[in-house]
Structures are given as C-alpha cells and as structure tokens.
Amino acid sequence: MDGSATLDEIMEKTGLESAAIMRAGLSLSKDKLLKIEERQITLIKPTFEGLKYSEIGLPERRMSRILRELGGRAPLQRVAEMAGVDGKLCAAAVGWMKRKGMAELEKGDGEIFLVSLGVPEETPDEKLLRILRERGGIVKEDLNETLAEAADILEKRGLIAKNLKVEYRFILTEEGLNSISKGIEVQRDVSQITPQLLRDGGWRTVSLRRYNVEAPVALTWPGKRQPYNAFLDELKMKLIALGFKEMTGPLVELMFFNCDALYMPQDHPARDIHDIYFVKNPKYGSLKGYGRYLRNVRRAHEDGWTTGSIGWGYTFSTRESRRLILRSHGTAVSARTLMRRDLEIPGKYFSIARCYRPEVTDKMHLTEFNQVEGIVVGEGLTLRNLLGVLEKFALDIAEADSVKFRPDYFPFTEPSVELLAYKKGYGWVEFGGSGIFRPELTLPLGIKVPVLAWGLGVDRLYMMKAGVDDIRSLFTFDLEWLRRRGVI
C-alpha cells in the first residue's frame, strides 16, 4: 500500500471487523498519526436482468448477429423471433441498433426489413456489463467518462442498480510514517479485565482501552415487515377506517365474472391470449347458482334486454362464459360482489386483488401485479363523488403533490376517467381507470342505483410513496434493499 487504504481494503487484508478498524483509526487520528477522509460514492451492481444480458448479450447485439447470419437484410419479425426478442423489447432493441449504428429499417413488399450496417466491436455499455459480471460491483466515480455515461444508460434500461454509500480512506500522516520508521511496539488493548487476566497476572501487561462514544459500531438489522406488505396492510386499514368493507374473489376466475358480467363483448381484443392467461386443464368451470344472472347478461349482450341499449348484436356463447382464466383485473371481484345476496345499498367495498397479464417485464410492468379495486353503491352518486375518492387516494395514500384526470374508455363504465398523479422528483404516473358502471352491467345483476368503480395499480401507488423507480424492487430478495427501506 502507498500509505493509504480504504476501510474495505483493510478489512480484506486483516480480517478485522469494520467497527474495530474504525475504533483504532479514530484513536490514531487523535494522536495525529493518520487522517480519515470520507467521500460519497455510488456503488453500481448489475440487476438480475443485467446479469442475464451480460451472459447472453444485449437484445440489439443478438439481433445484429442474427441479421448478419441472414445475409445482412431480413424481415424484422424473423430476426426478432430468431434472436428471442419479442413484444415491446423488440421496438427498444431496434432503437438501440439504430443508435449504435448496427442497422437501419427499410420498408418493402408489405414488410419491414432490417438492413445491417455492420457489427461494431464491444460497445461501452457491453464492456461495463462484462466488468460488472466479473467484479460484482464498481464505484461509479472511479470510472472514466465513457463508462460513466454507459452506466447512466444501463441504469435507465434497468440493467444496473446504484447504491449511495460513504467510503472511508485512512491516510498516514508524516508523523505516522516517522513512527513506523522508528518501529512500533505492539501493546495488547482490552476493553475489560477478565477472570483469566486476573488469574495469570496478564492484567499487569495489558492496556485498558478508552471508551470512545464517537466510534462507529457494526450495523445491526432488526426484523421488520417487508416494506411493500406493510404498505398493503396500512392501505387496507385506511380503507376500513373510511367505512369500506373488504370483498374477495378467486385467482382462477370464470370468464363470466372477468368479462361477460362487465358487459365486455366476447370478441373484445382484451379477451384474447395476448392479454389473458387461460387455464389449460381444466378448461371450463361451473356457473351453477348464477343461471338468472347468466340469462340477463346474455340478453344484454345480444339485444340490450331492458337496459335501453341495443346491446352488442352477436350470439352470446354460454360455453365461453365458463372458460377458466387467471383473473386479469380486480373488477371481476366487484362483479361477484354485486351478485351477493348480502350486498348493502348504500355500501362501500374494496379489494386488494392479485391480477395476471402476459406483459413484457420492465421497470413499470410485471406479469402479475396488485390492483386496489373499489365500488360505491347508492342513490344519487355522480362523477364528482368519484373524482373526490380518486383524489383522496392519490394525495393521502401515494402522497402525490397534484392529480389530474383525463377521459378514457372502458366497455363497462360511462363516463370513464383515468387518474394521473404527480410528485416532485418522480414525475407523472398513470395509476388506472375508473367510472360509473353502465346500466347494461348493473341492471342484469339486479342493481338499480348508480355504482362508482375504480381499479388502480396499487404497486405504482407504493412506488410513488416510497420513491421507488423499478416495480421489480417491490418483490426483490435483495437483502441490502430490504434492510435500507424505512419502517412505515
């Protein structure tokens, strides 16, 4: 060493605990034998996705290689399929290919083609991912300008995570160097006199260590609730305190409750395999006990029944209603609740429902997520009442600074409203949809009063409240992240 070393380097060299090293360092610094410098550093580590890409290659690199194997010009869809890049990831990969000078798009013969511009050598972001895979973690401030810019890009892509920490560096002073040159007499320090020291007379040769109340101690991590689970419990208690009753429903749901009872036509694109997980075995369930509701819903779909609507104008399939799926939204729980015999009118109900959709996983989307679903049933309810409830959610629950609403469309509500909220330093976030259930939904279920309804992404509510920018962090097993989250 050159007369200086970091705390981590000394720990690795000596095997001592950080608290012991800091205690000795503070003692030596008081005698002006060394000085301790502190600096804020940014430790960067690869995420799970980043590690995967460091091994198999970034999507744009894989597509570029396939394109070259196909002769340098090939249909975009074919290249993406062969490279294992699909959905929203394909569009992002093409963008990076263009930015890195790997390829360009060309239209022809009714298709979109990729044309190779060459396969560049290892790019800075790829180099940084490789280094991170080899070392596990790097101090960002120690990187050169090119790699530091690559780190910013990788962070935006969700491929690396950063953690701010304090680095301690111990530097020998001139007096300390002189003391070493003269030779150091090692004296045993103890913090207490033990029976053994009294028996063998060792107390005569040891030095009692002075107690330093400023010396840092080893960090301890007491047990606590998982932060996101604690937030969900807190949310539930707040809703109950506001007079809401909890409603529940199954994760494996019938298409009848998930879509049909919500006046969603059976040929709606949101009901195909790209938006819903279908159960393979068994494929169908039973609607025993719901015959009256099924008949009413069928008529509402076909010709409007007695709702004043003309319906969707197609032949309703009872078999399709019995199809088993994984619940794709929390509104299915509301449909079940409106059919309950013990439904209270007026009444307020909520659920925190686990939902499933075939999404492309990224910083804001997962294939399984939570929705906070709510309905208010009663005479004289209006859109103004609904907006008041939504605003309270955003301001009180997510601790947003401001909210705004914009018109939207859902098959089961009219009018329909989308909620967006803003928080300084976080930006605008879309939370979900809401509206007033249409008569084509409520009347077939025997409800003759207005029903306010909303389904909000509770995962995003917590992200805004806690300042989390990656939804995957909510379900992480990263102990470092879990330990540093505050207790709600």
Q: Using one digit for the tens of pLDDT, what is the confidence trace for 16-38?
A: 888 778 878 887 888 888 888 88
pLDDT of res. 301: 96
- The rounded distance, in Å, linking the Cα atoms of 161 and 187 is 44
Residues 363 and 471: beta-carbon distance below 8 Å: yes
Q: State the Cα–Cα distance between residues 420 and 337, nearest whole angstrom.
A: 27
| Bridge partner list, 405 | 419
Neighbours of 379 (CB within 10 A): 9
pLDDT in tens, 380-423: 999 999 998 888 878 887 788 899 999 998 889 999 999 888 88
Domain boundaries, position 167: 4-46+127-208
User: pLDDT tens digits for 336-363?
Assistant: 999 999 999 999 999 999 999 988 888 8
pLDDT band at 91 (very low <50, low <70, confident <90, very high): confident
What CA–CA distance (Å, rounded) separates 90 from 377? 44
From CA 89, how far away is CA 95, in angstroms rounded?
10
Greater pLDDT, 181 or 10 = 10
Examine the pLDDT at 218 and tell me if it is beyond 80.
no
Sheet holding 413-423, edge to edge: 245-246, 347-356, 368-377, 451-457, 427-437, 413-423, 402-407
Is residue 366 within 8 A of residue 471, CB to CB? The reply is yes
- Residue 292 clears pLDDT 80, i.e. is over it: yes
252 assigned to some structural domain: yes
Of 451, 328, 323, nearest in space to 382 by CA:
451
Strands 207-208 and 189-190: parallel
Query: What is the rounded average pLDDT of the residues 241-267?
Result: 93
Is residue 55 over pLDDT 70?
yes
With contact defined as beta carbons under 8 Å apart, do 83 and 77 qualify?
Answer: no
Residue 42 domain flag: yes
DSSP string of 80-138? HHHHT--THHHHHHHHHHHHTTSEEEEEETTEEEEEE----S--HHHHHHHHHHHHS-E
Q: Which residue has the higher pLDDT, 192 or 391?
A: 391
Considering the domain boundaries, does residue 222 fall inside one?
Answer: no
What confidence tens digit (pLDDT) does each residue in 204-217 have?
777 776 776 776 66
Asked if residue 318 and residue 299 are part of one domain, the reply reads yes
Q: According to the model, what pLDDT value does residue 338 have? A: 96
Please choose, from the candidates 328, 263, 273, the residue with its C-alpha nearest in 3D space to the C-alpha of residue 293. 263
pLDDT tier for residue 306 given thresholds of 50, 70 and 90: very high
- Give me the pLDDT at residue 25, please: 83
Same structural domain, 91 and 204: no
Confidence of residue 487 (pLDDT cuts 50, 70, 90): low
Pair 159, 274 in one domain: no
Could you tell me if 59 and 179 lie in one domain?
A: no
Domain boundary among 160, 175, 208: 208
Mean of pLDDT values over 194-203: 83
Relative to beta strand 103-108, strand 111-116 is antiparallel
In the block, which residue shows the tokens 């032949």? 315
Q: What is the CATH number of the domain that holds 342?
A: 3.30.930.10
68 located within any domain = yes
pLDDT (average), residues 277-287 = 95
180, 208, 236 - which closes a domain:
208
The per-residue pLDDT of the chain, averaged, comes to 87
Instruction: For residue 429, list its beta bridge partners.
Output: 421
Q: Is the pLDDT of residue 377 over 90?
A: yes
Q: What is the CATH number of the domain that holds 98?
A: 1.10.10.10
Residue 288 pLDDT grade (very low, low, confident, very high; cuts 50, 70, 90): very high
Q: Please tell me whether residues 102 and 83 are part of one structural domain.
A: yes
70, 177: one domain: no
**Would residue 218 count as lying in a domain?**
no
Q: Nearest Cα to 297, choosing from 283, 276, 319, 318?
A: 318
376 belongs to a structural domain: yes
Please check whether residue 221 lies inside any domain of the structure.
Answer: no
The burial of 385, by beta-carbon neighbours within 10 Å (0-12 exposed, 13-18 middle, 19 or more buried), is given as: middle
Residue 323 has pLDDT above 60, yes or no: yes
Residues recorded for the chain? 488
**Average pLDDT of the residues in 449-463:** 89
99 shares its domain with 146: no
Domain boundary among 92, 120, 148: 120
Please tell me whether residues 155 and 201 are part of one structural domain.
Answer: yes
Looking at residue 441, its pLDDT comes to: 95
**Same structural domain, 262 and 358:** yes
Band (194; pLDDT cuts 50, 70, 90) = confident
Pairing of strands 427-437, 451-457: antiparallel
Q: Look at 325 and 13; give whichever has higher pLDDT.
A: 325
In a domain? residue 214: no
Counting the structural domains of the chain, the total is 3
Give dist(CA 352, CA 63) in Å, integer: 40
Band of the pLDDT at 186, cuts 50, 70, 90? low
Q: In sequence order, which residues have a C-beta less than 8 Å from that of residue 244 and are 6 or more positions away?
A: 348, 349, 350, 374
For residue 229, give the 3-state DSSP assignment.
Answer: helix
Q: Token digits for 10?
A: 């000394």
The token duo for 268 is: 């709606």
Do 194 and 233 lie in a common domain? no
Please report, as a single letter, which amino acid is at residue 481. Answer: W
Are 339 and 457 part of one and the same domain? yes
281 and 182 within one domain: no
In terms of Cβ atoms closer than 10 Å to its own Cβ (0-12, 13-18, 19+), residue 103 is buried
How far is 259 from 329, CA to CA, in rounded Å? 10
Candidate from 169-183, 361-375, 442-456 with smallest mean pLDDT? 169-183
pLDDT reading at 187 higher than 90? no
Percent of the chain with pLDDT over 70: 95
